[in-house]
Amino acid sequence: MIPDFSIFGLKTFEITGRKITSSPRKLDTASVSWQTDREDAFSRGGPLPGYPYMSIVECETLVEIPGHAYQHNLRGEGLLRPGHRLESSSLKQPEEGWDEGPQTWLTTDPSAFAIGNVHPDIATLWCVGIDSKDQVTDRVWRVSPSYRGIIPLDDGNPKPGKWKGTVNGETRQAGSLSLVGTTFVDENGVYNGWSTARDSTLDTSKVAVTHSLLSFTAPPTDKVGRPYTPARVPLLDNIFETTSWYSSAGFTWNWPPGWKLSGVQWDQILDKDIYLYTLTHEYVPKAEPKLT
């Protein structure tokens, strides 16, 4: 029979140094040992003492004096500090289109990850979807949002836009025309027009240029149908620019001639001032044959 005894001093205290492991893209871990007067003082899933954002994942209890003294060897997982930690990322910045992709974050505040919320580190990326949101400990969640927007370059601007051009040959029925004073030269020689009116077809080119870009300003939809010369203009050889042989009888005059903005397509992220749009520029000659 164990004689009566008394225990003086603290009954609950930390008895060994702490071992902490922190990884850049993983949960943090910590190991501690405590002395208490209760066998059930700690349990798996409970808070790790000294670490409010870590939970106990292992609890080994050694009985020293039944009913009076117990040693608890604890290991916890979570985050050492509140906030967010990037676990994985598939963000991409392609040559053309949105900068976008999925990521996975460890966080103590899952409400920070919701559709319409800004990226934790990049103020011009926005959450457009949540793939999953799981609680991995009592105080830490794993969230997988998808982001879309603009990843700025070092100067703060979006990546350069993408230019594309189309130049197609086009044959136009011109009706009865007199081509006095016209001369065309190619690798086979010189060709002169005719002085008498004849039913004619004329070969020319149809030119269009598109410019796709990311922008913090709305697209210029107010300029559609108006003169708008693209920053990059392809070489042109359009016979309808030779005005000396035009006749009002055989041609329709275009106004205004030259480059115009013929169309705008755009995509906007939610209600944010951030856009992906494509401008289509077409070249309008001074005159074109009347259709017969």
Is residue 263 over pLDDT 70?
A: yes
Task: Say whether pLDDT at 142 is over 60.
Answer: yes
Average pLDDT in the chain: 87
- Say what the pLDDT of residue 287 is: 76
Domain boundaries, the chain: 13-78, 84-149, 162-289
Confidence of residue 175 (pLDDT cuts 50, 70, 90): low
- The pLDDT score that the predictor gives to residue 249 is 59
pTM for the whole thing? 0.79
| Structure-model confidence comparison of residues 270 and 202, the more confident one | 270
Split at pLDDT 50, 70, 90, the class of 5 is low
Rounded CA separation 194/190 (Å): 13
Supply 106's token pair.
């460890």
Residue 260: name the closest of 240, 280, 287 by CA: 280
What pLDDT is stored for residue 170 in this prediction?
Answer: 76
CB neighbour class for 185 (10 Å; exposed up to 12, middle 13-18, buried from 19):
exposed
Q: What is the pLDDT of residues 65-108, one digit of tens each?
A: 888 899 999 999 999 999 999 999 999 999 999 999 999 999 99
Whether 280 has a pLDDT exceeding 70, the answer reads yes
